[in-house]
Structure 1
Amino acid sequence: MEDGLWEILLGKPLLKKVGIDVEQQLDNLAEDHKVLEVDFGIDKSLEEDGDMGLDEHLSILVADTALNVADNVVLSKLQPILNRYRSYFKSDMVTMDAARVAPFELEMKKHSQHIRSAQRRHSPLISTVMAEQVGDLLNAGYIYKNPNLRCIFACMPVRKPGVSKWRLTIDYREVNKLIIPKCGMMPTRLLDMKGKTRFKVLDLHIGFWQLPLHKSSSEILAFATDTGIYTPLRVPQRSMDSDLHFQGCMADCFRSLINVNFLIWIDDILLFADNDLECFEVLSKVSNIADDKKLRINVRKSKLFLSGVTWFGKVYNG
């Protein structure tokens, strides 16, 4: 109490009795009838680029790169390497084999009880968004419908900041409390880029959905929408230690390049070199490793042979 005023905390049951539905209010805040695209961490839509496919995006990438490369010999080698590793680039939401990395496996604490989230009511717009996103995941083979489960979690699409896209989010907070955390650290050291004059920025296509999920952990991370209950076959973001697992897998894959010509933070990659020729050689090595591990790069977010770049808020320009 301060200045004679009382502070009272009201729970959801009491609020509902007086006609206030907090979850419905949150749904209303999430709505925006000007939404043109749907996104859930996967760049599945090419609406902003018309009907452009992978070939068109690769051509644009080469054309943009030509503006930055002074060495014609290096430029002449770029198109063949892109053709050789064509399957390593993706531009839309498609079915892909899981990456050749260790599957993500969770260990539950002893005597853990199954958790079932309360069903949520959604507006027609939110329901439509969820149905489209879940349908894409089903068609790609990243999830499957599984009604015979005892442990499920609610999901909710939220707007991505600054854009007219949506991201499907799953509330794993309760189950994360029941999972034994693993030891690990994210990288904290950034190299001195002084003298580096060439940079490349790459983005791992659909991020976490590339990584396989261990069979024993799939049902632990099941989720529900108003169209059914679903079990993931790939790693869902924000589950316990999923970030550490992703970072560890990438560190194992690119161990020979890290801190030499290569930095990675989750699914964002920065390559750097002293000149165009070295930059091309690094790209060749990364392409070879990515193709061997079945890792896929989002061609729409790739930028090659840059003279400067801003990466996680820091400017690198030699």
Structure 2
Amino acid sequence: YPPHVRNFLQEFNDELVRLGWVYENASSRWACPALPVKKPGKDEFRQTSDYRPTNAETEPIAGVMPILQVITEHVRGMCFFGLFDFIKGLWQLPLAKASQEILSYMTDAKVYTPTRVPQGCSDAALHFQVTMERCFAKLLYKHLLIWIDDLLLYAEDVDTYLEKLGELFSLMNEFGLKLSAAKSSLFQRSVKWCGKIIDGDGVRHDPQRIAALRE
């Protein structure tokens, strides 16, 4: 890894160890390489791992991801919106003890074994999606859309919005989930969510996301 990527891996994994989400495991019998990925348009990275060897030995779960074109129909006619993003996304979900060692990963310095669901392993995104849908079933498709770790709260009027916002926060607290304040926004009349612009006039593609197709 280049020096700046090594620094990221060190700092990121030190934080995960502090949180108890991974632990150093020099005796692990299995480890895949950490795979830092640069975030679009930023000088920041997110850590995934090259779990191809592990995934090849994993039986995938059955499940269905939402179809964005279908679920965004629920927001037509809505006027007030809120965007929410989870801190470290998938890492908030606990990982079964039997699955921990096989999902160990290594940086250039150490081997770590996760106690939470890491990015890159088979079905992690689907597992997270299904779990969030269960946690927020009370609001889902009535006042909330979920795409993995991106949440969109919506309502037709301010009073309803405030009521549903309170319900959302109550559910967050009930299930021990944490939001990123920096990536969340409240009381928006127009939002960009999953490549679409959503407002009181309806739903349309974000021009920036499809600019390359037009050129």
TM-score if structure 2 supplies the norm length? 0.87
Contact 1:222–1:230 (CA<8 Å) still a contact in 2?
yes
For residues 198-233 of structure 1, what are the alpha-carbon distances to aligned partners after superposition, in whole Å with 9 as ceiling and x for unaligned? 111111121111100000000010011222211001
For residues 170-198 of structure 1, what are the alpha-carbon distances to aligned partners after superposition, in whole Å with 9 as ceiling and x for unaligned? 10011101100110010112224332111
* AA partner of residue 127 (structure 1): R
Runs of 5+ consecutive residues of structure 1 not aligned to the other structure:
1-121
Tell me how far apart the structure 1 counterparts of residues 77 and 3 of structure 2 sit (CA, whole Å). Answer: 55
Return the match for 2:136 from 232, 254, 267: 254
Return the match for 1:160 from 31, 39, 54: 39
Between Structure 1 and Structure 2, which shows a larger proportion of strand residues?
2
What's 1:228 paired with?
110
CA-based RMSD of the aligned residues comes to 1.4
* AA partner of residue 143 (structure 2): N
Contact 1:246–1:266 (CA<8 Å) still a contact in 2?
yes
For residues 276-311 of structure 1, what are the alpha-carbon distances to aligned partners after superposition, in whole Å with 9 as ceiling and x for unaligned? 100000101111111111111111111111111121
Q: Does 1:295 align with 2:177?
A: yes
Contact 1:130–1:156 (CA<8 Å) still a contact in 2?
no
SS of the counterpart of 1:164? coil
What's 2:212 paired with?
none
Runs of 5+ consecutive residues of structure 2 not aligned to the other structure:
201-215
What's 1:182 paired with?
61
Contact 2:48–2:118 (CA<8 Å) still a contact in 1?
no
The Cα of 1:157 is off from its aligned counterpart by 2.5
Q: Does 1:202 align with 2:81?
A: no
Tell me how far apart the structure 1 counterparts of residues 178 and 94 of structure 2 sit (CA, whole Å). Answer: 14
Q: Does 1:278 align with 2:145?
A: no
Identity of aligned residues (%): 38
TM-score if structure 1 supplies the norm length? 0.60
Alignment length, in residue pairs?
197
SS of the counterpart of 1:187? coil
* AA partner of residue 92 (structure 2): Q
SS of the counterpart of 1:297? coil
Which protein is bigger by CA-based radius of gyration? 1
